[in-house]
Amino acid sequence: MSTLEIKNLQVSVNTEEGSKQILRGVDLTINSGETHAIMGPNGSGKSTLAYSIAGHPKYTITGGSVTLDGVDVLAMSVDERAKAGLFLAMQYPVEVPGVSVSNFLRTSVTAIRGEAPKVRTWVGEVKEAMAALSMDPAFAERNVNEGFSGGEKKRHEILQMELLKPKIAILDETDSGLDVDALRVVSEGVNRIKETNNLGIMLITHYTRILRYITPDFVHVFSNGRIVEEGGAELANKLEENGYAEYVTA
């Protein structure tokens, strides 16, 4: 049982006009096995929340705390956060020329598990995980995210999540750029991993579409850098009907 606890988190970003505050006091607790949907209009700070927790250097924490099972996440380097059990599935996964998927996965898994996986079991493990996401085995020989379609990038993110077995995963707009079939495959992957590993999920999305496949236990409406309303899955239906208009302040 793990708990990610975000308390009064305040984050700013440096712009040409100086420091600009994006997050204005976010409070959120995610336990193992829970799925929290973070929904909100574009520019409300959802992705900033995701990247701040993962430790992207672009963001400056100006207040508040983030802990995983009581341990200060904000004091950790980016790789330490991953080793502690956090995972960020990115909206725009980055191309890494000349680094094959198989090399990348092996290096990453070695770092997270603290030892190189056994060759014999490793090959099977990757194959199985890829098959579960309907990925061609030849995929492993391609360079990381290079020339991947939108669907391939997202499958690759979920593949990593499967192999790295995080305690808490943040899925940033994982549904964007996916057609219905890819969305179904990716969602089934997320549900399977959650089931097997008792994963806690922060699911960031603009649209309710993915919530038909991944049922949230909690829905949080995000606007202007903070959570402005919370509820159960039914809140998503209301958003589907009415949009975000009532939450957007001028």
Could you list the residues that contact another protein (CB under 8 A)?
54-58, 77-79, 81-83, 87-88, 90, 93-99, 103-104, 107-108, 111-112, 143-144, 160, 164
Q: What is the closest distance, in whole angstroms, from the C-beta atom of residue 34 to another protein in the complex? A: 22
Measured from the CB atom, the residue of 103 and 198 that comes closer to another protein is 103
Q: What is the closest distance, in whole angstroms, from the C-beta atom of residue 7 to another protein in the complex? A: 22
Measured from the CB atom, the residue of 12 and 145 that comes closer to another protein is 145
User: How many residues appear in the chain?
Assistant: 250
Measured from the CB atom, the residue of 162 and 219 that comes closer to another protein is 162
Measured from the CB atom, the residue of 129 and 221 that comes closer to another protein is 129
Q: What is the closest distance, in whole angstroms, from the C-beta atom of residue 78 to another protein in the complex? A: 4
Q: What string of DSSP letters covers 198-215? A: T-EEEEEESSSGGGGTS-
What 3 state SS string does 54-97 have?
HCCCCEEEEEEEEEECCEECCCCCHHHHHHHCEEEECCCCCCEE
Exposed, middle or buried by CB within 10 Å (0-12, 13-18, 19+), for 167? buried
Measured from the CB atom, the residue of 87 and 247 that comes closer to another protein is 87
Q: What is the closest distance, in whole angstroms, from the C-beta atom of residue 161 to another protein in the complex? A: 10
For residue 16 the two structure tokens come to 């040409």
Question: Which residues does 149 contact at the CB level (< 8 Å), separation at least 6?
Answer: none
Dist CA 77 CA 65 (whole Å): 15
- Torsion sign, CA atoms 217, 39, 170, 189: positive
Q: What is the closest distance, in whole angstroms, from the C-beta atom of residue 202 to another protein in the complex? A: 15
Helix, strand or coil, per DSSP, at residue 114: coil
**Position of tokens 């219905």?**
180
Question: Which residues does 131 contact at the CB level (< 8 Å), separation at least 6?
Answer: none
Q: Are 202 and 40 in contact (CB under 8 A)?
A: no
Measured from the CB atom, the residue of 18 and 97 that comes closer to another protein is 97
Q: What is the closest distance, in whole angstroms, from the C-beta atom of residue 216 to another protein in the complex? A: 24
Measured from the CB atom, the residue of 22 and 50 that comes closer to another protein is 50
Q: What is the closest distance, in whole angstroms, from the C-beta atom of residue 245 to another protein in the complex? A: 33
